[in-house]
């Protein structure tokens, strides 16, 4: 197994995107256009003729070293492969990270379980998903009693669904109401770039719930990729929370896409999502600090 360290300017765009597209564990975060819109600098580890690939997203540090980090708006990248992701292949990639990357923070994509003997600290994360292949009535049977009551309350207000909303408006709503204010200005601009790229490719759509005056109470943008429909910016205002607008938005997405062989990827680990019958899917975050070595 030959793994090469490739600088960003040397990456073959077509082969890279093909690897991510056909990877059994692929996701939208790995495409070159997505990476370029959220990360200033990134290189890669590549196996053979792009049979497998690992993006190395980095920031410069002192003494000509670099730190691998997870940019905002990316849940996980990890190793993309058209081959079987055996433990041997996973270990080979993680051990091949060059020493110039002194500090390492990576979240591995679904299905990658790092060996406990690797020289990394490991932390299990969760993300919620829901398979929409059943009819709406069957899916609704798995809703919690509280979720059903709040949706019924929202339906009686009434609230209006609207998908004809520009990325600038969605990004502004996110900037104003997101709980995570860290780097919010940077995310504000990156979100617009991502949404316009998705719309240009015909891979996604906006969804909002508004009151009778047209004020947005809850908003999201969904991206289709690898058999999933992923939430990008699920956001709700205080008025939206009290009215149940965010729950109504998800319920209408489920209703519209029921019976389709697609997974609703909430891209979120908040407990309220369990009220829709969603399942928690584990993935791993690994880290290593300069001078740190795991005690074996």
Per residue in 160-180, pLDDT (tens digit) is 999 999 999 999 999 999 988
Domain 128-281 in the same topology as domain 3-118 = yes
Top-tier CATH class for 3-118: alpha beta
Q: Is 52 helix (H, G, I), strand (E, B) or coil?
A: strand
Q: CB–CB of 122/281 below 8 Å?
A: no
Q: CB–CB of 220/240 below 8 Å?
A: no
Q: Which residues contact 247 (CB under 8 A, 6 or more apart)?
A: 147, 150, 151, 154, 272, 275
Stated pTM of the model:
0.93
* 89-147 confidence digits (pLDDT tens): 999 999 999 988 989 999 999 889 988 888 899 999 999 999 999 999 999 999 999 99
Domain extents in the chain? 3-118, 128-281
Tell me which CATH homologous superfamily contains domain 128-281: Gcn5-related N-acetyltransferase (GNAT) (3.40.630.30)
Which residue do the tokens 């708006």 mark? 73
Residue 224 predicted with pLDDT over 90: yes
């Amino acid at each position: 197994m030959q793994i090469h360290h490739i600088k960003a300017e040397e990456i073959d765009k077509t082969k890279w995107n093909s690897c991510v597209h056909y990877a059994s564990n692929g996701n939208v975060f790995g495409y070159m256009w997505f990476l370029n819109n959220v990360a200033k600098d990134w290189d890669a580890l590549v196996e053979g003729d792009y049979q497998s690939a690992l993006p190395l997203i980095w920031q410069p540090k002192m003494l000509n070293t670099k730190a691998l980090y997870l940019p905002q708006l990316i849940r996980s990248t990890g190793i993309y492969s058209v081959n079987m992701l055996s433990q041997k292949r996973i270990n080979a990639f993680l051990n091949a990270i060059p020493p110039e990357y002194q500090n390492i923070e990576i979240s591995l994509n679904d299905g990658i379980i790092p060996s406990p003997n690797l020289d990394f600290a490991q932390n299990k994360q969760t993300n919620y998903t829901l398979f929409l292949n059943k009819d709406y009535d069957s899916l609704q049977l798995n809703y919690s009693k509280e979720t059903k009551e709040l949706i019924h309350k929202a339906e009686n207000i009434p609230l209006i669904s609207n998908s004809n909303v520009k990325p600038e408006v969605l990004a502004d709503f996110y900037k104003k109401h997101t709980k995570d204010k860290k780097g919010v200005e940077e995310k504000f601009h990156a979100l617009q770039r991502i949404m316009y790229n998705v719309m240009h490719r015909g891979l996604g759509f906006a969804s909002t719930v508004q009151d009778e005056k047209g004020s947005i109470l809850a908003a999201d943008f969904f991206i289709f990729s690898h058999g999933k429909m992923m939430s990008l910016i699920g956001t709700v205002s205080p008025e939206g929370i009290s009215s149940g607008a965010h729950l109504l938005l998800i319920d209408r997405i489920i209703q519209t896409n029921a019976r389709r062989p697609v997974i609703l990827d909430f891209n979120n680990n908040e407990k309220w999502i369990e009220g829709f019958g969603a399942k928690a899917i584990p993935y791993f975050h690994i880290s290593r600090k300069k001078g740190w070595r795991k005690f074996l």
